Chain A
Amino acid sequence: MSPFTILPILLPLIGGILMLMARPAGIQTQRILNLILVSLLVGVSLVSFNLASSDVQQVVLLGNWQAPFGIVIVLDRLSAMMLLLTSLLALAALWYAIRTDTDKQGQHFHVLFQMQLFGLNGAFMTGDVFNLFVFFEVLLLASYGLLLHGGGRLRTRAGLHYVVINLVGSTLFLFAVGTLYGILGTLNIADMAIAVKTVSPEDQGIVATAAVLLLVVFGIKAAMFPLYLWLPGAYAYTSAPVAALFAIMTKVGLYSIIRVHGTIFSEQAGDLAFVHVQWVLLLGLITLALAALGVLAARALRRQVAYLILASVATLMIAIGVNNELALTATFYYLIHSTLLGAAMFLVADVILKGRGTYADSLTKAIPIDRPIIVGSVFMVLAIALTGMPPLSGFFGKVMILNSALSHPWFAAILGVVLVAGLLMIVAVCRSGSLMFYSVKKDKSEQSTPLNKSAFVAVIMLMLVSPLMVIFAKPLNEMSSQIAAQLYDQQAYIDAVLTTLPHGENGK
Chain B
Amino acid sequence: MEWLIASVIAVMTGCGVYLTLRARTFPVVLGLTMLAYAVNVFLFAMGRLQVGFPAVIDPAAAGYTDPLPQALVLTAIVIAFGMTAFLIVLALKARSELGNDHVDGLHRSDDERKAKRHNNKTDSERSAS
Contacts and interface: CB of A to CB of B under 8 A. Distances in A.
Interface of A: 130, 134, 137, 141, 144, 148, 151-154, 156-157, 159-161, 163-164, 167-168, 170-171, 174-175, 177-179, 181-182, 187, 299-300, 358-360, 362, 364-366
B79 A160 contact: no
Nearest to B115: A362
B103 A164 contact: yes
A360 B118 CA distance: 10
Nearest to A179: B46
Nearest to A131: B75
A154 B91 contact: no
Contacts of A177: 43, 72
Contact of A181 (B25, B69, B90, B125): B69
Chain B interface secondary structure, helix, strand, loop or mixed? Answer: helix
Contacts of B110: 153
Interface of B: 16, 20, 25, 28, 32, 35-36, 38-39, 42-43, 45-48, 68-69, 72, 75-76, 79-80, 82-83, 86-87, 90-91, 93-94, 97-98, 103-105, 107, 109-112, 114-115, 118-119, 122, 125
A164 B87 contact: yes
Given A153-B105, A178-B42, A364 B122 contact: yes
Given A164-B28, A168-B20, A362-B115, A178 B69 contact: yes
Contacts of A360: 111, 114-115
A136 to B, nearest CB: 10
B83 A153 contact: no
Contacts of B35: 168, 171
A366 B107 CA distance: 27
A141 B83 contact: yes
Contacts of A358: 114, 118
Nearest to B16: A171
Contacts of B115: 299-300, 360, 362
B97 A160 contact: no
A362 B90 contact: no
B118 A154 contact: no
B91 A144 contact: no
B118 A161 contact: no
